Structure 1
Amino acid sequence: MAGYKIRDLEMLTGIKAHTIRMWEKRYGLLKPQRTATQIRTYSNEELLLLLNISLLNKKGYKISRIAEMSPEELFQTSREVHESKSSDTSIEQFIVSVLNLDEQLFHNTFRELTQKTSLSEVFSERIIPFLRRIGVMWLVGTINPAQEHFISNLIRQKIIAAIDALPIPEAGQKKILLYLPEHEWHEISLLVYHYHLRAKGLNSIYLGQSLPYEALLKTVQLLNPTLIVSSWLTAIEPQEMCNYFFRLTEDFPHITIAASGYQVDQLKNQLPKTIRHLNGIPDLDQLI
């Protein structure tokens, strides 16, 4: 069973920790267990309950009214009011869709978002923050491989379909290479970047997952790109990663090199100063 700390719930639901504590004390909405050191821990069921409480609260329901509902009434009301357009509950809905393996909920939420705003904004402002939130679930063991594969494949389908609908850029343009290094398979953020660049009419070329270094070297020599972008999420020895980037800067001294992902976030101060750290589409736009 999952054992969320209150800070985990704060990140996953968007509800401040002090508010959660107040709701516990005043309304008894949650009943956390306590560790030997008196630290509150919450179950997966309590996370799901709090997500639905958050949905209703954002839709204008007072917390005192929510506290009077039975669990069945609360979940049913949450599902009914989701169809209204009064506020954005998309990330909470995405999380619920993962927990329940609910493809229809994911599809409906995604469709509603794309009716309101551009796909680039949906991917960068909703999908990427959502993936960061469910990363917490991995840390506490809530998301199993089936759930992770379920949501990753749904998101990949949406992004790849969007890319496929765009025109192929003219060959004469400057080229931007995107790839994942060897042993790296988490491609959603790079697919988002690839879509964004293509949507701007730029000639981005995605080389895929787990690309051997020698293959990258030959491709760069063939295409002579102006920018190379990679993403690093899977755990790697810090020295190995640093050596990789120092080799990149030596082999491609006249090409801008950018990288994103959790491992880059952790080691950015140890990487060569010329490596550009990407923390989202605004950073990418500055490079192009």
Structure 2
Amino acid sequence: MANYSIKELEALTGIKAHTIRIWEKRHNLISPERSETNIRTYSDKDLKQILNVSILYNQGFKISKIASLTQAELSSKIQDLANDVKPENEVFIDQLTICMVDLDEDKFEKTLSSCILKKGFEETVDNVIYPFLRKIGVLWLSNKINPVQEHFISNLVRQKMIVAIDGLHEPAEKEESIVLFLPENELHELGLLYFHYLVKKRGYKTYYLGQDVPFPDLKKVCDKINPDILISSVAYIGSEKKFIEYLAVVEETFKDKRIYMTGQPMFNKKDVIPVGITLFEKPSDLLNLLDQ
């Protein structure tokens, strides 16, 4: 069981710390532990309660009304919101967060499938999965989720990505071909899978190499198929000097190709990124670059 500070609770729920304290004091919605110096700490149960309350609160329910509901009534009203023709994204994001805390695979799967059915795959990824993963990042950086929970979430989302890609049966319509890869030792694959879905859906011939691709292997593949475009993503760079050297080799080796890369570490070092490598921030930016 994790313990959260009120600032972490604020980041995860979107509810201001001041408001959380009011809900605690006036409505007894949660009962945090207190240290000897009177510092509040909140449990998984408190987090789930605030997430559930915030779903209704953000949909216009009065807090006094929410506080009067039993847990069964609270769950029922949240389910009613999720069953709307097109529920708010925050409803799904908060439900997925609760599933992550509980390691509830069945509910996670049903929630994500429902969201895709109601909103479509691309809107779900852009406006639900990505914001959800950013929330999980708050927990990860503060050591409030363990590797088991992180792998649990990543694998379930990865499965959805692969199913969506496999569902694209249309033959390639464009003459340009694309290789998608992650550099050696890079394992964060979800973003690259989504880029694969987007470019394949738009008719490009794709070669998906996936995680942890040594540079000699990348070169062999490109020598054989001669792609027009390379797409990659970086979440961790390790040694900055070695990483910049790696990018320089990529640029020189594939100077006749369009190279598109993303990842926060890239933007942190964008002043030293070789000119032959084009950075993009969002999936929509990638699509705009491809259309140029």
Both structures adopt the same fold (TM-score exceeding 0.5): yes
SS class of match (2:178):
strand
Report the AA paired with residue 66 of structure 2: I
Structure 1 segments unaligned to the other structure (5+ residues): none
| Equivalent position to 2:186, from 163, 184, 187 | 184
CA distance in 2, matches of 1:231, 1:83: 33
1:276 maps to what in 2? 278
> Deviations 1:74-106 (Å, cap 9, x if unpaired)?
764465445431533111111111111112222
1:222 maps to what in 2? 224
SS class of match (1:228):
strand
| Equivalent position to 1:120, from 119, 122, 126 | 122
Report the AA paired with residue 103 of structure 1: E
* Kept after mapping to 1: 8 A contact 2:172/2:200: no
1:52 matched to 2:52: yes
Report the AA paired with residue 107 of structure 1: E
Report the AA paired with residue 9 of structure 1: L
1:61 matched to 2:61: yes
1:87 maps to what in 2? 88
Task: Quote how far apart the aligned CAs of 1:22 are.
Answer: 4.5
CA distance in 2, matches of 1:268, 1:3: 37
SS class of match (1:93):
helix
Further displaced range: 204-213 or 47-56: 47-56
Further displaced range: 108-117 or 197-206: 108-117
* Kept after mapping to 2: 8 A contact 1:166/1:199: yes
Q: Map of 1:13-92 to 2, 5 A cutoff?
A: 13-24=13-24, 26-30=26-30, 41-69=41-69, 72-73=71-72, 76-77=75-76, 80-85=79-84, 87-88=88-89, 89-92=91-94
2:142 maps to what in 1? 140
Root-mean-square deviation over aligned CA pairs: 2.8
1:131 maps to what in 2? 133
- Shift of the 35–236 alpha-carbon distance from structure 1 to 2, 3 Å rule, reads farther
- Shift of the 47–271 alpha-carbon distance from structure 1 to 2, 3 Å rule, reads farther
Task: Quote how far apart the aligned CAs of 1:188 are.
Answer: 0.8
Task: Quote how far apart the aligned CAs of 1:12 are.
Answer: 2.1
CA distance in 2, matches of 1:280, 1:154: 22
- Shift of the 271–17 alpha-carbon distance from structure 1 to 2, 3 Å rule, reads farther
Q: Map of 1:102-121 to 2, 5 A cutoff?
A: 102-121=104-123
Q: Map of 1:91-102 to 2, 5 A cutoff?
A: 91-102=93-104
* Kept after mapping to 2: 8 A contact 1:231/1:259: yes
Structure 2 segments unaligned to the other structure (5+ residues): none
* Kept after mapping to 1: 8 A contact 2:181/2:213: yes
* Kept after mapping to 1: 8 A contact 2:2/2:145: no
Further displaced range: 256-265 or 194-203: 256-265
SS class of match (2:281):
coil
CA distance in 2, matches of 1:172, 1:270: 33
- State the TM-score, normalized to the length of structure 2: 0.85
Task: Quote how far apart the aligned CAs of 1:113 are.
Answer: 1.8
- State the TM-score, normalized to the length of structure 1: 0.86
- Shift of the 252–37 alpha-carbon distance from structure 1 to 2, 3 Å rule, reads farther
- Shift of the 211–43 alpha-carbon distance from structure 1 to 2, 3 Å rule, reads same
